[in-house]
């Protein structure tokens, strides 16, 4: 996604949450200083493939076989460890280094590519965990304007960023095991982020001219961002 397309949505997210764009840019710049450019030819070829975008919701363990049935799996944050423990291969992890960063870092040294996201609230996590991730397996991302080796594919939460990344890599069809927009166990901030994730997936399916099953029964109340 070109940044000029993403930027108006990004500005709405910043305004809604009161986030500081300058803080995002500082984290982006720090990440850029810690990494080398990512070699995209090391990723699987998603062209024409069905890609499972695995969310870290409470249903994921019970939907592991559904994820395994896709051609490839892109996992959000701690979904990576959940699927690994269920015997499901993950082809790409997407994380802002919350959840289980130690597991993701260890798996990077076994060959797992990891899209590491920098934002204004995770500078300490970047300092702690980026050095632990295999450098050639680290794809650096931002929600601000891309710079240097740091890329912006669109998206806000780990889950919807994973979907936007799979789209950018050429996936033909996306499925969504482990997603729960109405998890009663999350706090208000996480619930607000999930509402944005829902809207962003609606935008993505509209752009792709695809219907994501995870949005069935929900589209009627959604607005494009």
From CA 116, how far away is CA 95, in angstroms rounded? 5
Per-residue pLDDT band at 201 (split at 50, 70, 90): very high
Cβ atoms < 10 Å from Cβ of 3 = 14
Mean pLDDT of the 64-79 span = 98
3-state SS class at 143: coil
From CA 149, how far away is CA 165, in angstroms rounded? 16
50: β partners? 173
Task: Answer whether residue 221 shows pLDDT above 90.
Answer: yes
Q: List b or e across 44-58, with b for residues whose CB sees 16 or more CB atoms inside 10 angstroms.
A: eebeebebbbbbbbe
Mean pLDDT of the 40-63 span = 96
Nearest to 14 by CA among 135, 156, 149, 152: 156
Mean pLDDT of the 126-145 span = 98
Where exactly are the structural domains of the chain?
3-211
pTM above 0.85, yes or no: yes
Mean pLDDT of the 46-63 span = 96
Mean pLDDT of the 131-159 span = 98
């Amino acid at each position: 996604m070109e940044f000029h397309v993403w930027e108006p949505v990004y500005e709405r997210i910043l305004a809604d949450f009161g986030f500081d764009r300058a803080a995002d840019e500082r984290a982006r710049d720090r990440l850029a200083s810690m990494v080398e450019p990512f070699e995209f030819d090391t990723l699987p070829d998603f062209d024409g493939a069905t890609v499972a975008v695995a969310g870290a919701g409470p249903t994921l363990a019970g939907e592991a076989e559904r994820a395994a049935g896709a051609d490839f799996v892109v996992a959000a944050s701690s979904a990576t460890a959940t699927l690994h423990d269920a015997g499901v291969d993950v082809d790409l992890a997407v994380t802002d280094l919350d959840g289980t960063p130690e597991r993701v870092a260890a798996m990077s040294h076994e060959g797992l590519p990891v899209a590491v996201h920098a934002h204004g609230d995770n500078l300490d996590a970047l300092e702690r965990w980026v050095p632990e991730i295999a450098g050639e397996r680290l794809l650096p991302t931002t929600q601000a304007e891309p710079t240097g080796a740091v890329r912006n594919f669109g998206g806000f939460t780990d889950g919807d960023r994973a979907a936007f990344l799979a789209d950018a890599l050429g996936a033909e069809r996306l499925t969504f095991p482990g997603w729960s927009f109405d998890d009663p166990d999350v706090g208000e901030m996480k619930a607000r982020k999930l509402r944005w994730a829902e809207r962003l997936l609606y935008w993505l399916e509209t752009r792709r001219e695809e219907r994501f099953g995870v949005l069935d029964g929900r589209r009627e109340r959604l607005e494009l961002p």
